[in-house]
Amino acid sequence: MARRSTSSSTGRPTGTAPSGPRNRTPQPVRLRRRTFGDVVKAFLAFVVLLVLVVGVPGALAVAVGWPLPRSAPSMDWLSQPIDVQTFLNALTVVVWLAWAQFTACVLVEVKAAVSGVGLPGRVPGAGPSQLLARQLVAALLLVGATAASFTPGLSQLGHSLEGNQKGTVATAQATPGILAQQQEQAKSTAAALAEQAGHAAAQAEQGGSTATHGATKYYRIQPPEGRHHDSLWEIAQRHLGDGRRYKEIYELNKDRIQPDGSRLSEASLIRPGWIMEMPGDAHGGELVENPDAHVSPEVRQQIGDYAQTGDHAQHQQHQERGGGQHAGGDGATAQITVPAQRQAGDTDAPAAHGTSTDSPSSSSSSSSFGLSEALLGAPLLAAGLLAALGRRRRQALWQSALGAVGGHRGMEPPIPAGDAQDVQDALLVGADPEGVRQLDRSLRGLAAALTAESRSLPVVYAAWLSHGDLHLQLAQPAGKPPAPWQLGQDQTFWTLSRADAERYEETDAAAPYPGLVSLGTMDDSRLLLNLEAVPGIVSLSGREADRAAVFASVAAELATNGWSDRMTITLVGFGADLTPLAPNRLRHLDDVEALFETMEAETRQRRGALGAADHHSVLTGRTGPAQHTRWAPHLVLLATQPSTDDAVRLAELAADAARLGIGYLVGSERDDLPGAAWAMEITPDGRLLAPLLGLELEAQLLPAVQQRAVVELFVEADPERDPDGPTTTPPFLVDISEQGRPAVYARLVGPYEIIGLDTPDGDRSPLLHEALALLLLHREGVHPRVLSSALWPRGVTEDVRDALLERLRGWLGTDPDGSPRLRADAAGRLTLAKSVVSDLDVLRSLYYEATQGKGVDSRAVRGRLLTDALVLVRGPLLADRAEGRYRWLTHEIVDAQLPLLVADIGLALSAFHLEKDRAEKAIEALGAALRTAPADERLWNELLRATHTTGDPDRLRALAADLIARSGARGLPPRTEALLDELLPTWRDGAAATG
């Protein structure tokens, strides 16, 4: 599919509908208007604080004076009677101590309120005193200009510790998108919804909205108060009863000329003095109607001029439709749930996972054959799992080869079946390795560029992948990004286009943001939350099974992602079975107490290490000379609901966690977890909601069935699971007799050739050859969706795929009995008839027969079979494949299997000749095998032994020198050194002379 137009400076493709990271203005802390009662309360609080903090010590100093003895008392003092003065002095000391404790409480509460970070520290033994201090400080700050931004939820914090209301452990600066972190009281939301419902009912009784009476309502954007800025979300919350209706205000005013000559192009970018036309059901004292005599002539003129702009017929229709919906129950529900912003033009848009221009569903067949839709829609997770699985299988092959005894070793990993096979197919279809590669290179390239400019990494809360472009959402403005990065929709977005990302090369920079993990998609954009940078705890509420699917997805992606280096992931209360995915990263703890013991020690250690290194945070340690030596993140996933005391204790640990590179994701049965900075909820229908962050995502999940199947794939590939290694029988044995001559013979080992078929005409020939190669390498069968995703990594429609399969079926033809050579098995997977054979099939069959079949009892047969097998080796697999094609081979392990198989054949044939003292024949066989497997240490060692048997020391020295030269700076392997010490004791002298 053709790619859509390039992104504008705001990070949005020109001419497209708004997508995820653009029009999701969050709901910040609701700025309550100050009343006369608030002023009175604040004044009284100030008086009380003044009396208690200043008046009490002053009164004691004047009335009592110094209460303690002015000299050291003798032992006789203890036997003296207690007079009135002694009693008053003792009482004065108690009052002084109480005053000191209360003053400490006031200082602690003021510090926590002003900083806005962390729960206030607990003063020992000061429960009632600290609660009183908290209430007085909160009442005093409520009238301050920055009360809403400095003290979110402060007046409720004292009650949250007793479990009555929700506390906030930390807040982040109010920035667009998900960065407004302040927690709003649940009762405020309920009251707003009740107010909205009541207003809708009143409108229904009146038969329409105020728009029907001819009065259009307007709102003038207010100037900022302290750190609080007006937003469309807050305007919608105050005047429409639901912040999520900000889109209606945006649509009414989009691209209209404002009084300062600019236009509204982003819902999150509004300026003081701008005028917003409001939906007809808007209400509230700050609104003005046109005409309105209660505003200044200047404002009235501006509103009048603004009213002349825009398509009023469309606006009026929108108002009437909005008023009608609000009057009816169904319409109100639709507005509250806010469907995803999708327009007809978006059907040609690329998928959210980056490089693919086709969503998984667009290449699906009419039947999904049981493939996991959860994994099909998780391209980064699938790519990570697939890459990790490939590494595990290669490791198993090498360990099996190096640890085998008597030549019997397993060359084939077990073929998965059932759910494991379906999950493997889903991984192959859904994986986006190119997207992972671009993300990794882009982030490391950014770190390298900042290092070159002697700049620190900015704090990144989230990353958005949208149409291949990468948007980093910063905690606060960090200046101009290094090229080719650009500023996005505002100062808190750094954006990299897909075209620029593709030009990035590999760099040795440390991974800057390894804590990024996919949460889900919003419209056409995929959100990755940086768990490491969250200013406190991220809580996840919802049903236990739904939460478990989110936790499993997060754990699996963090354990296998391709954009991180070192990392520790601690799973508490779940995930013991997930550790096979990455034993070096994942660790499991049984309960919260074990977690506290671990994390309290690590938190202290990290604080000390940062201080010793003079770093403010781990981010400053990820650039510069020390970037590869420290600052690996530690992410904690706690699935079980902590008790109230444990939650408070956890919140205290997490208060400084973002600076230390530690992140916490905690499961909760409710949405009021004490100390949660960001609260999310997973719904039964798979939506991830975070209203205060402005998020409503299609969640990325790993349900229990798929989780077990993924783990099964890794367990089956574990080289330590079975000491005998995987099965030694090839998946497809060929009849190697004269009667078994195939109808179609394909040469894959070396240049690609096909014997028995005419070369297809036209441009489809390369596709047909590639499809046949994939089927030949998977005799167990290939899912149609796996085939289509391999041939068209960017996606394809069903009709194009089906047309290719028909051409492939016609090209391969039928057997003499009339059966097609391309067929589908009972599960719908495509398989080849036994009459279609490759040289790799023959190679495996020859080696199997020589070592475990007919050659076991006949030396002559074994020699002939091994010689025939080695003759078939003409080079690496598909040596002449075109650049850009056969990219699916990166998911295969055949590139590791083939060299090992050739080496085994060479070793077996060498041993066959050495039994009869035919050293030259053995050397010839080993040399032929080394042309395909030049890095196999076993072949070189056997070549040294065979050369030693010739009795020619000069030839052995020459071979040793050649081997030393090939080893380079890394030196010879220990086994090879030991063998040379045995066969050629003077080899080190020659190596030193050469060096």
pLDDT tens-digit series, residues 583-621: 999 999 988 999 999 999 988 888 888 878 777 788 776
**Confidence (pLDDT) at 624:** 61
Statement: residue 19 has pLDDT above 90: no
Distances (CA, A) of 291 to 256, 287, 318: 19, 12, 21
Instruction: Report cis status (omega within 30 of 0) of the bond before 633.
Output: no
**Confidence (pLDDT) at 987:** 84
Structure tokens that stand for 178 in this block: 């998900």
Cβ burial of 388 (10 Å; 0-12, 13-18, 19+) is buried
Confidence of residue 23 (pLDDT cuts 50, 70, 90): very low
Cβ burial of 777 (10 Å; 0-12, 13-18, 19+) is buried
Phi, psi at residue 280, to the nearest 5°? -65, -25
- The answer to whether 374 touches 427, Cβ cutoff 8 Å, is no
Using a CB cutoff of 8 Å and minimum separation of 24, what contacts does 63-66 make?
A: 64/88, 64/89, 64/92
Confidence of residue 720 (pLDDT cuts 50, 70, 90): low
- What is the rounded CA–CA span in Å between residue 615 and residue 774? 52
- The answer to whether 539 touches 679, Cβ cutoff 8 Å, is yes
Phi, psi at residue 95, to the nearest 5°? -65, -40
**Confidence (pLDDT) at 331:** 30
Confidence of residue 120 (pLDDT cuts 50, 70, 90): low
CA dihedral 104, 108, 111, 113 (to 10 degrees): -130
**Confidence (pLDDT) at 21:** 34
- What is the rounded CA–CA span in Å between residue 727 and residue 388? 21
The secondary element (H helix, E strand) that includes residue 715 is helix 704-716
User: Which candidate, 404, 405, 399, 413, places its Cα nearest to that of 729?
Assistant: 413
**Confidence (pLDDT) at 699:** 95
Statement: residue 544 has pLDDT above 60: yes
Over residues 823-835, the mean pLDDT reads 92
**Confidence (pLDDT) at 506:** 86
Answer positive or negative: Cα dihedral of 486, 487, 493, 499.
negative
For residue 539, the SS3 value is strand
Mean pLDDT of the chain: 77
Cβ burial of 458 (10 Å; 0-12, 13-18, 19+) is buried
Cβ burial of 847 (10 Å; 0-12, 13-18, 19+) is buried
End-to-end CA distance of the chain: 57
Statement: residue 344 has pLDDT above 60: no
**Confidence (pLDDT) at 69:** 63
114 CA to centre of own chain? 33
Statement: residue 452 has pLDDT above 70: yes
Statement: residue 962 has pLDDT above 60: yes
For residue 423, the SS3 value is helix
Statement: residue 90 has pLDDT above 80: no
Distances (CA, A) of 30 to 147, 334, 680: 11, 24, 19
**Confidence (pLDDT) at 262:** 77
Query: What percentage of the chain carries pLDDT values higher than 70?
Result: 73
CA atoms within 13 A on the CB side of 331: 13
Structure tokens that stand for 936 in this block: 């196999």
Statement: residue 213 has pLDDT above 70: no
DSSP string for residues in 656-707? THHHHTEEEEEEESSS--TTEEEEEEE-TTSEEEEGGGTEEEEE----HHHH
> 625 or 283: which carries more pLDDT confidence?
283
Contacts of 492 (CB under 8 A, 6+ apart): 175, 176, 177, 179, 473, 474, 475, 476, 477
**Confidence (pLDDT) at 379:** 94
Task: Give, as one character, the DSSP assignment of residue 759.
Answer: P
Structure tokens that stand for 124 in this block: 């020992």
Lowest mean pLDDT among 37-46, 166-175, 510-519, 755-764: 166-175
**Confidence (pLDDT) at 528:** 94
Over residues 55-60, the mean pLDDT reads 80
Phi, psi at residue 665, to the nearest 5°? -120, 120
- What is the rounded CA–CA span in Å between residue 89 and residue 73? 15
Statement: residue 818 has pLDDT above 60: yes
Task: Indicate the angle between helix axes 127-141 and 36-50, nearest 10 degrees.
Answer: 130
Residue reference for tokens 């000299």: 71
Structure tokens that stand for 705 in this block: 């069935």
Task: Give, as one character, the DSSP assignment of residue 55.
Answer: I
Lowest mean pLDDT among 150-154, 416-420, 853-857: 150-154
**Confidence (pLDDT) at 447:** 92
Phi, psi at residue 632, to the nearest 5°? -70, 140
Dihedral class, residue 284 (left if φ above 0, else alpha if ψ from -120 to 50, else beta):
left
Q: What are 277's strand-pairing partners?
A: 218
pTM of this structure = 0.64
Phi, psi at residue 239, to the nearest 5°? -110, -10
Over residues 884-888, the mean pLDDT reads 88
Over residues 926-936, the mean pLDDT reads 91
- What is the rounded CA–CA span in Å between residue 15 and residue 115? 43
- The answer to whether 562 touches 440, Cβ cutoff 8 Å, is yes
Over residues 930-959, the mean pLDDT reads 91
**Confidence (pLDDT) at 688:** 94
Statement: residue 93 has pLDDT above 70: yes
Over residues 398-404, the mean pLDDT reads 66
Lowest mean pLDDT among 169-178, 248-257, 796-805, 853-862: 169-178
Over residues 211-238, the mean pLDDT reads 70
- The answer to whether 829 touches 365, Cβ cutoff 8 Å, is no
For residue 96, the SS3 value is helix
**Confidence (pLDDT) at 29:** 35
Burial 407-443, CB ≥16 within 10 A → b, else e: eebbbbbbbbeebbbbbbbbbbbbbbbbbbbbbbbbb
Over residues 669-691, the mean pLDDT reads 87
Task: Indicate the angle between helix axes 953-967 and 987-994, nearest 10 degrees.
Answer: 50
> 194 or 924: which carries more pLDDT confidence?
924
Structure tokens that stand for 751 in this block: 């240049």
Phi, psi at residue 688, to the nearest 5°? -105, 115
Confidence of residue 711 (pLDDT cuts 50, 70, 90): very high
> 168 or 95: which carries more pLDDT confidence?
95
Q: How many helices (H) and strands (E) does the chain have?
A: 33, 22
Over the stretch 285-332, which tens digit does the pLDDT of each residue have?
Answer: 778 765 555 567 777 777 877 877 765 434 444 333 333 333 333 332
Instruction: Report cis status (omega within 30 of 0) of the bond before 514.
Output: no
Structure tokens that stand for 310 in this block: 């825009």
For residue 247, the SS3 value is helix
Confidence of residue 222 (pLDDT cuts 50, 70, 90): confident
Statement: residue 680 has pLDDT above 80: yes
Q: Strand 695-699 vs strand 744-747: parallel, antiparallel, or unpaired?
A: unpaired
Contacts of 163 (CB under 8 A, 6+ apart): 644, 674
**Confidence (pLDDT) at 31:** 39
Statement: residue 170 has pLDDT above 60: no
Statement: residue 527 has pLDDT above 80: yes
Statement: residue 135 has pLDDT above 90: no
Over residues 401-412, the mean pLDDT reads 52
CA angle at 752 for the pair 747 and 756, rounded to the nearest 5°: 55
**Confidence (pLDDT) at 218:** 87
- What is the rounded CA–CA span in Å between residue 297 and residue 291? 11
Lowest mean pLDDT among 2-11, 249-258, 695-704, 890-899: 2-11
Statement: residue 39 has pLDDT above 80: no
Statement: residue 710 has pLDDT above 50: yes
Confidence of residue 990 (pLDDT cuts 50, 70, 90): low
Phi, psi at residue 690, to the nearest 5°? -145, 80
For residue 830, the SS3 value is strand
User: Which candidate, 347, 499, 480, 342, places its Cα nearest to that of 6?
Assistant: 499
- The answer to whether 882 touches 766, Cβ cutoff 8 Å, is yes
Q: Which of 23-32, 71-80, 386-395 has the highest mean pLDDT?
A: 386-395
Burial 89-115, CB ≥16 within 10 A → b, else e: beebeebbeebebbbbbbbbbbebbee
